[in-house]
Structure 1
């Protein structure tokens, strides 16, 4: 009887072991047949569209189950200040936001950023923009996030209440309109003192356009070789105008602590009459307001002189030379195709691509504005693609110090000039 029980137990054990072995072989077979999943990091500048970026990454992974995207958002005041520590630490992401400037171009020539000139996204990008994204050695180092231009959005009802019948055509008229708005009990314009990136895109870029670019056609080459003189009354005037607006009481209270989102909120809530912004913010700036909104070119020109608008490439995307480069390239192509329409749903920006972007939407006002400024004989680039990267970081401090009266406009011009010349000395060949 014991032998029978033992035999049964032994038989059951053998069956169990056999089934376990079969299960292990099946599991191993499944594991072998399942594709390996690659995880890529995307370091992205998205101060006004983080949810859209997360959705793009999720949509991409659904359609590409072999790739997971770890989205990391940049913080602070510039793209460059986020990239530099990663490069120094040797922890570059697989995909990264970049600006079309000399710093990013140099990263491409150093072999840190991959050449994108073979991609479908590059081939579809507008020809004038490709020049912005081509390095000294001919590498296509980035794909533009859009056609960037800056303007002043204004509350038409507030202008009517103050008796202003047309937007100002020069800086003197701008000051006169600010005075009219203030007399009507209204706050004329929002000043983003707590977010110097917007000061750079707004009053600095427009000031540089009208005080430097308008006077020196070869400004870009001269800045690169260190021969452009920025220690001038004209450059000091850029900072003077920036400080003059709050000095006359034409801005909101506590303007030095006003950040990006708060500045937009103040305009949308009808608490200020005007706001410097880019066309990248057209979606939220033009829609959902209780008042009609208009646009005009920032009139930072002197009376009798033709205004110089700001027009160029928006912050875009690059792929780093990592082991995950192939997967990151696929994600880049997705952003520039299906993903772009997701961005457009909120931003309503101008597509940088020749053949559109699916269901991309651009507001007629923005299209008309961009078409109008593109016809100007002289236009200037946004400050983030104009200045050397180290100078961009310095400029943020200079603008805030001038607004806080820690530095004079003349001193700011001197330091800006010294920084640009020092960068040229280190990098110009």
Structure 2
């Protein structure tokens, strides 16, 4: 993403170099990870006026933690040391999205007490239906950054969750490979980006990693940036129109999003066997110096920026056309909600702990951007990622991560559409048509 004059003045190095929407997807066991004995003492008040849970309460937490499962277990363990009257049963989500883990449990009436959730219309509807509890009286909600609260507020005004971080997607790049290929400046639009890829390929390098086996990252990466620059940039009321079913996505501009997704493999700019590359493997390819660039989020900064034999830089994905101002992706990360269960009070306590003493635990690995005005203890964030996030936050137009932009059923469809385009089972134009049909169908069913 390329900067505006204000962003350039505020962050010259980012714009000059071509600046820079969950996990160890070995996915540890998806089922029950054993009851962790957790111990008591309120770190923060849960809901105002809530009664302490009875002794021996057991709560279940269903968590999306593809790159930090050990840290989640550590958070639960630390909570247990301070809350001996509550046991936490930690389970991990599997698959490609939060929603595909939640929907069967909603249908079966088996939701856990605390759950990872995305700030989208589906989650907001669950809150208004009484499935998710209102957390707006918690300290976690009150200290969450004000610009994020709208993401987590339902149509009826319920605060249905707290963010796990400030989410922005970027392209991480290997500075040594760029120097070897003779690249002097970072790309500022898509045409320049393709030129950079060609230059890297001529130097005998693989330009960029594509997560064909984990479409969640295709959504967070090339799709989200394409949607930002091909849709959001030209339609200020896109959210309202998507909700009421009047946003037209069956257009050449949307087809181009899918066409660009397939263009890089067609040009030989991605790694071999890219269709089987999962989340962990994609990060490993970058860290081992086998690819020059990788789409990733701010949530993976700890993995992407450290422990490498080479220096790493970041820049905004330049999915804009020449002469157009780039639109960055910026919003809330997947967060945490409390379900309306008999164990709600204990689950609120655990939510408060995750947002307070627990947050530095996951920060030590992830280095993402804190969603809270203040944190407990020392919060580690990479200065370059902080500067990047501050810079994109000053852009006149930003887009939401794809998981908070699209209806939940459309998210699942999108994953298949992207893979089918890459496999040449359907054309980009057919993908745009089917995406449009899905969004309009969802609007008729849920959001009017």
TM-score, normalised to structure 2, is 0.88
Among candidates 366, 371, 383, match of residue 364 of structure 1: 383
For residues 330 and 322 of structure 2, the distance between their equivalents in structure 1, rounded to whole angstroms, comes to 22
| Match status 1:331 vs 2:355 | no
> Shift in Å at residue 427 of structure 1?
1.3
Among candidates 110, 120, 133, match of residue 152 of structure 2: 133
For residues 88 and 248 of structure 1, the distance between their equivalents in structure 2, rounded to whole angstroms, comes to 44
The corresponding residue for 1:71 is: 90
SS at match of 1:238: helix
For residues 148 and 413 of structure 1, the distance between their equivalents in structure 2, rounded to whole angstroms, comes to 26
> Shift in Å at residue 358 of structure 1?
2.1
The corresponding residue for 2:138 is: 119
> Shift in Å at residue 357 of structure 1?
3.8
Describe how 1:212-361 pairs up with structure 2 within 5 A. Answer: 212-361=231-380
The corresponding residue for 2:420 is: 401
SS at match of 1:222: helix
SS at match of 1:294: strand
The corresponding residue for 1:195 is: 214
For residues 357 and 423 of structure 2, the distance between their equivalents in structure 1, rounded to whole angstroms, comes to 45
Gaps of 5+ in 1: 1-34
For residues 226 and 204 of structure 2, the distance between their equivalents in structure 1, rounded to whole angstroms, comes to 28
Name the stretch that deviates more: 355-364 or 92-101: 355-364
For residues 357 and 315 of structure 1, the distance between their equivalents in structure 2, rounded to whole angstroms, comes to 20
| Match status 1:95 vs 2:114 | yes
For residues 209 and 73 of structure 2, the distance between their equivalents in structure 1, rounded to whole angstroms, comes to 30
> Shift in Å at residue 62 of structure 1?
1.1
For residues 393 and 138 of structure 1, the distance between their equivalents in structure 2, rounded to whole angstroms, comes to 27
SS at match of 1:214: helix
Please identify which structure carries the higher helix content.
1
> Shift in Å at residue 259 of structure 1?
0.2
Q: Which runs of 4+ in 1 moved over 2 A?
A: none
For residues 93 and 166 of structure 1, the distance between their equivalents in structure 2, rounded to whole angstroms, comes to 49
Structure possessing the higher radius of gyration over alpha carbons: 1
The corresponding residue for 1:8 is: none
Gaps of 5+ in 2: 1-53
Among candidates 383, 388, 398, match of residue 407 of structure 2: 388
> Shift in Å at residue 253 of structure 1?
0.4
Which digits, 9 at most, give the CA deviation of each residue in 1:44-64, with x for residues without a partner? 000000000000001101110
> Shift in Å at residue 167 of structure 1?
1.1
> Shift in Å at residue 379 of structure 1?
0.2
For residues 175 and 40 of structure 1, the distance between their equivalents in structure 2, rounded to whole angstroms, comes to 50
For residues 400 and 150 of structure 2, the distance between their equivalents in structure 1, rounded to whole angstroms, comes to 12
> Shift in Å at residue 165 of structure 1?
1.0
SS at match of 2:122: helix
SS at match of 1:137: coil
The corresponding residue for 1:410 is: 429
> Shift in Å at residue 378 of structure 1?
0.2
**Does the CA-based 8 Å contact 2:301-2:382 persist in structure 1?**
yes
Which digits, 9 at most, give the CA deviation of each residue in 1:187-209, with x for residues without a partner? 00000000000000000000000
Which digits, 9 at most, give the CA deviation of each residue in 1:15-72, with x for residues without a partner? xxxxxxxxxxxxxxxxxxxx73111100000000000000000110111011111100
| Match status 1:375 vs 2:394 | yes
**Does the CA-based 8 Å contact 1:188-1:272 persist in structure 2?**
yes
> Shift in Å at residue 359 of structure 1?
1.2
The corresponding residue for 1:151 is: 170
For residues 164 and 231 of structure 1, the distance between their equivalents in structure 2, rounded to whole angstroms, comes to 37
